[in-house]
Amino acid sequence: MVALQEFFLNLLATLRDVLPIAAIIFGFQFLVIRRPIPNFRKVLIGFALVIVGLALFLQGLQQALFPLGKLMADQLTAPSFIYGTAQQLVEQVHWADYYWVYLFAAAIGFSTTIAEPSLLAVAIKARDVSGGVITIWGLRIAVALGVAIGIALGTFRIVTGTPLHYYIITGYIVVIIQTFYAPRMIIPLAYDSGGVTTSTVTVPLVAALGLGLAATVPDRSPLIDGFGLIAFASLFPIMTVMGYAQLGQWLRYRQQCKLKQKVEAHVNT
């Protein structure tokens, strides 16, 4: 009964999210464009599926994954786990003691990104538009790797207490350099993938990890140091997606070179 009630609440919340969007779309469609929407019935069914699907998705996450994930984030960042004693008094933190935290950060970043619905949406579009050159799984794995690296580095930053903007500005410089060498086709998609990685699944778990960590590491304030993980998670996928395209380009180039050598060897003999 409680689960049903929760599902209903989630459904209402999703409806509230969709309502302004639907109002804008249908308002402009009827008042400005003044043309009927083709396949209107099918579109309506599609909207209903999206709403019910998201509500179910959220409900499942809240019931199964979030409580456990948050609990684990708390336990892994607790001093009693890291130092093996219940003693809270640790004078000096050593960043290397937090290796399980970094590993957990990377693993949870990777796996939640794979399940992120908005990334799936962009990956489907990218596959269709690129005529299959970009595969759904290729893009998702590239983005997920970026999030994994980003969040692991972000937890390292919280442990060491170094300023956030140094990392972000360095990241920007790397992105700009990569932009000049990456295939032109991938650049807009790579920039977009920074924004799509962090929504329904990733944000709650990652926020819990950041706040838990900032609360337990001495001299860190959760209010100031707890933020920033999302920023890392939106920056690094830009690099890995461009890297994914660069790797593909390089592999093709090498294949062509080999082919050329083979042909030349054949001609010479």
d(CA 81, CA 85): 7
* Site map (CB under 8 A) of another protein, residues 89-108, x = contact: -----------x---x--xx
Site for another protein in 127-166 (CB under 8 A): 129-130, 164-165
Residues found in the chain: 269
DSSP letter (8 states) at residue 95: G
Cβ count near 53 (within 10 Å): 12
Q: Is 122 in the site for another protein (CB under 8 A)?
A: yes
Report which residue type is found at 231. A
Q: Residues with Cβ < 8 Å from 47, sequence gap 6 or more?
A: 18, 22
3-state secondary structure 46-107: HHHHHHHHHHHHHHHHHHHHHHHHHHHHHHHHCHHHHHCCCCCCCCCCCHHHHHHHHHHHHH
| Sole window of 34-42, 89-97, 246-254, 259-267 interacting with another protein (rule: CB under 8 A) | 34-42
Among 11, 47, 95, 249, binds another protein (CB under 8 A): 47
Among 152, 187, 208, 209, binds another protein (CB under 8 A): 187
Nearer to another protein, 24 or 263 (CB): 24
Nearer to another protein, 180 or 268 (CB): 180
Q: Is 63 in the site for another protein (CB under 8 A)?
A: yes
Kindly list the distances between the CA atom of residue 267 and the CA atoms of 29, 87, 259, in Å, as whole numbers in the listed order. Answer: 64, 75, 12
Among 189, 208, 217, 239, binds another protein (CB under 8 A): 189
Q: Is 212 in the site for another protein (CB under 8 A)?
A: no
Q: Is 111 in the site for another protein (CB under 8 A)?
A: yes
| Sole window of 45-53, 87-95, 244-252, 255-263 interacting with another protein (rule: CB under 8 A) | 45-53
